[in-house]
Amino acid sequence: MEVYKGIPVSPGVVIGRVVVLGDSRVRVPRRQVKATQVEAEVARFEEAVAASVAELESLRQKAETDLGGEAAKIFAFHQGMLHDRALTEPIRERIRNERVTADYASSAEFRRLAEWFARMSDSSFFTKVDDVWDLERRVLRQLLGEQRTRLSKLEREAVVIAHDLTPSEAASFERGTVMAFATDAGGRTSHTAIVAHALGIPAVVGVGSITDHARDGDTVIIDGDRGVVILHPDEETIREHEAYIERMRLFGLSLADLRDETCETRDGVHVALYGNIEFASEAATVLAQGGLGVGLYRTEFLWLISDHEPSEEEQYTQYAAAVEALRGKVCTFRTLDLGADKYTQSRAEEPERNPFLGLRSIRYSLQNLPMFRRQLRALLRASALGPSRIMFPLITTAMELRQAKMVLHDVMEDLEDEGLAFDRDVPVGMMVESPSAAVMAASFAKECDFFSIGTNDLVQYVLAVDRTNENVASLYTAAHPAVLKLMKEVVRAARRAQIEVSCCGEIAGDIEYTMLLIGIGLRSLSVSPGAIPLVKRVVRSVDIAQCERLARKVGSFDSERQVAAFLRDQARKIIPEAFDGRSVETD
Ligand code: PEP
Ligand code: MG
């Protein structure tokens, strides 16, 4: 039994069988296969070579037409290398002699060849190194690409183990087929983690080197509550986790009774509890879980799962579906938050050096006005079907907010001219998720109808910690007094200006933070739909004076560790059933 500690990003526990997803961006782990699978691996290799040769042939022909014979020679040379038995035979031998996967054997042999060329003092050999790497990537893409499409064809319930997953890869998982996942890389609020929430499957990220150890078919426990991955668990551990899963199932059932109860504290103060969604289909889930409506619709996920920019009509269909599914409850649309780890980098011709500080969110929209206008048209048209709100992401300057509102009003004029229906009074708000927006909240409050505090980004920008980077994950915490101080200021500014302020970062759905958020004055939270019942349960178990006392106490701490430990302790007292008693040591 091997126990690995990672970062819990989506709750729940699953016991299942591993499917390892390879990744051409990382070293391919050495993985052995059964003797009976050896020839199938050799055949996979032959197919990958044949596909690569065919790919090179079409590239050669294209280069010859577009660029001339000289340029086309490079592809002919690559084809020649793949036909050379001096390169391919050692790969077949390695698969057969060492009983390893075609991926590993190819990667290892290409690497050996590249290193051999690199040691040559003759420059004509030396320059071949890049060609070898290029070929390695081409062949691996064939092998691993096939592995990734394998996912969509999975027939049984699987637990995916991968080095890293993009948000769109996770979004393409079939519900009911992929039961959980764990990755070597990733941080607490990476968008891949958020997708796991949306799918309602347990996930652990930042595990370090799990792909070096897991193999297809291994038994594994993914514990998304504690951030633990247990490979080859023993009988007793499996029994213990099965009992825990059952306990949590019963606890979940007991929470279901709260669905139609109001979300108010014991002393009768109402806390508006909304759901965060990524896809229109989740809107109904928000209501089913007892949410008041949608507090954050991350509209960019439609881009993430498409291979083209969705048209106005495609967008409208989705937005209208969400508004209609909410049956009169509000839908808060956030305009495109593309960029950073979402969408643009993988498709960019020149990836940015520092994408989280780059052309993302509202900046991207304001630089791509036709696209932004198409989205606003679709959103406004959907607003005719039910109560909607529009919110802009990552506002950092007053000018951005004003420009975004100007474009919105311009689009309204167009719709009016065209006689298309929309809600003229649609409330317009902004995310407060950059330090500048938080510090200047009082000014911003004069220019918009509501705020939503996005702690996922606020934390990374206040603490200078990349939210997706597992190497600095221990530094990423909303419990840092600097973050809490800023949040308090934002709530105060909003209250003074009498505009609504909500919190839609992941901490809003983390019951360790519920009392603190109420204590600093928040009366509106937007959380992943699955977290609604539990948060409601906490709200109904506390009173305002108690929350304010807790917030004052937290305000006296100067370290995030103190804050985090205190919050955990207090939450455990309120709702001990949500914390577990499993025994596997993780440190
Ligand atoms: C946030 O930053 O807290 C937020 C809710 O937005 P996202 O996670 O989509 O960046
Ligand atoms: Mg954000």
Asked if pLDDT for residue 176 goes beyond 60, the answer is: yes
Spacing, Cα 301 to ligand 2 middle (Å): 13
Among 337, 432, 460, 528, say which to mutate for ligand 1: greatest number of ligand atoms within 8 Å of CB: 337
Q: 436: CA distance to ligand 1 center in Å? A: 16
> Is residue 186 scored above 90 in pLDDT?
no
**79 shares its domain with 208:** no
For ligand 1, atom 8, name the residue with the nearest CA: 456
pLDDT greater than 80 at residue 247? yes
Residue 243 lies in a domain: no
Question: What pLDDT sits at residue 582?
Answer: 61
Region 194-211: what's the mean pLDDT?
87
Give residue 24's pLDDT.
Answer: 45
Run of H or E residues at 322: helix 312-325
Structure-model confidence comparison of residues 195 and 381, the more confident one = 381
Q: Are residues 11 and 112 in the same domain?
A: no
| Ligand 2 centroid distance, CA of 401 (Å) | 16
Q: Could you count the other beta carbons within 10 Å of the beta carbon of residue 33?
A: 18
Q: What is the reported pLDDT for 587?
A: 45
Give a yes or no: residue 13 inside a domain: yes
pLDDT band for position 231 (50/70/90)?
A: very high
Minimum CA distance residue for ligand 1 atom 4: 454
Residue 333 pairs in a beta bridge with: 297, 390
Please identify, by atom number, the ligand 1 atom nearest to the C-alpha of residue 340: 10
d(CA 156, CA 153): 9
**Which ligand lies nearest the alpha carbon of 395?**
2
12 in the same domain as 41: no
pLDDT of 371 reads 95
Q: Residue 295 pLDDT > 60, yes or no?
A: yes
Span 481-540, pLDDT tens digits:
999 999 999 999 999 999 999 999 999 999 999 999 999 999 999 999 989 999 999 999
Same domain, 99 and 173: no
Ligand 1, closest atom to CA 337? Answer: 9
Question: Looking at residue 349, what is its pLDDT?
Answer: 56
Q: What is the CATH number of the domain that holds 57?
A: 1.10.274.10
Q: Residue 490 domain-assigned?
A: yes
Around ligand 1, the residues with Cβ closer than 6 Å are 189, 194, 296, 298, 337, 433, 454-457, 504-505
447 pLDDT higher than 80 = yes
Same domain, 204 and 170: yes
Span from the CA of 358 to the centroid of ligand 2 (angstroms) = 14
Shared domain for 197 and 78, answered yes or no, is: no
Higher pLDDT, 306 or 293: 293
Final residue in a domain of this structure, among 127, 144, 161: 144
- Is residue 10 assigned to a domain? yes
The reported pTM is: 0.76
Beta bridge partners of 275: 294, 527
Lowest-confidence range among 19-23, 283-287, 367-371, 553-557?
Answer: 19-23
Domain termination site, one of 102, 123, 144: 144
> Which has more confidence, 212 or 493?
493
Atom of ligand 1 nearest to the CA of 457: 2
* Highest-pLDDT range among 72-81, 108-117, 446-455: 446-455
**Torsion angles phi and psi, residue 476, rounded to 5:** -90, 105
- For ligand 2, a single-atom ion, which residues have Cβ within 5 Å? 433, 454, 457
pLDDT value at residue 25: 46
Alpha helices (H) along 120-234: 123-126, 128-152, 167-171, 191-199, 210-213
pLDDT at res. 182: 95
Q: What is the pLDDT of residue 505?
A: 95
Q: List b or e across 150-166, with b for residues whose CB sees 16 or more CB atoms inside 10 angstroms.
A: ebeeeeeebbbbbbbbb
In whole angstroms, give the CA distance from residue 494 to residue 485.
Answer: 15
What's the mean pLDDT in 63-68? Answer: 74
- Based on the structure, what is the number of domains in the chain? 3
Q: Residue 478: nearest ligand to its CA?
A: 1
Q: Is the pLDDT of residue 122 over 90?
A: no
Q: Are residues 125 and 174 in the same domain?
A: no
Asked whether 516 and 547 are in contact (CB, 8 A), the reply is yes
The answer to whether residue 244 sits within a structural domain is: no
Tokens 């993780």 belong to which residue?
586
Question: Residue 45: its pLDDT value, please?
Answer: 93
Domain CATH number, residue 226? 3.50.30.10
More confident residue, 482 or 147: 482
Residue 147 has pLDDT above 80, yes or no: no
Reading the block at residue 277, the tokens are: 């969604």
Ligand nearest to the CA of 506: 1
pLDDT digits (tens, 9 = 90+) for 548-583: 999 999 999 999 999 999 999 999 999 998 876 565
**Are 83 and 121 in a shared domain?**
yes
Decide if pLDDT at 443 tops 90. Answer: yes
Q: What percent of the chain has pLDDT over 70?
A: 91
Of 457, 476, 483, which is best to mutate to test ligand 1, by the most ligand atoms within 8 angstroms of its C-beta? 457
Quick one: pLDDT band at residue 146, thresholds 50, 70, 90? low
Cα(444) to centroid of ligand 2, in Å? 17
- Same domain for 509 and 567, yes or no, is yes
Whether the CB-CB separation of 540 and 258 falls below 8 Å is answered with yes
pLDDT band at 350 (very low <50, low <70, confident <90, very high): low
Lowest mean pLDDT among 56-65, 454-463, 487-496: 56-65
As to burial, measured by CB atoms within 10 angstroms (0-12 exposed, 13-18 middle, 19+ buried), residue 397 is middle
| CA triple 296-297-298, angle to 5 deg | 105
pLDDT, one tens digit per residue, over 188-199 is 777 788 878 878
Range(s) of the domain holding residue 103: 35-144
In a domain, 462, yes or no: yes
Q: What is the mean pLDDT of the chain?
A: 89
* 507, 447: one domain: yes
Confidence band for 173, pLDDT divided at 50, 70 and 90: confident
Are 11 and 135 in a shared domain? no
pLDDT confidence tier of residue 308, bands split at 50, 70 and 90: confident
Q: What average pLDDT does range 78-93 have in this prediction?
A: 90
Among 361, 335, 7, 4, smallest CA distance to 193 is for 7
Do 114 and 256 share a domain, yes or no? Answer: no
Report yes or no on 258 lying in a domain: yes
User: CA 486 to CA 505: how far, in whole Å?
Assistant: 14
Q: Which of 90, 116, 144 is the last residue of a domain?
A: 144
| Secondary structure string (H, E, C) spanning 98-120 | HCECHHHHHHHHHHHHHHHHHHC
pLDDT at residue 154 in the model? 61
Cα 270 to chain center, whole Å?
31
pLDDT of residue 151: 61
* Residues 6 or more apart in contact with residue 87 via CB below 8 angstroms: 81, 109, 113
**pLDDT above 70 (res 156):** no
Give Rg (Cα) of the chain. Answer: 26
* Distance between Cα 546 and ligand 2 center (Å): 30
Confidence of residue 133 (pLDDT cuts 50, 70, 90): confident
Q: Is residue 240 part of a domain?
A: no
Pocket test residue of 189, 278, 452 for ligand 1, highest count of atoms within 8 A of CB: 189
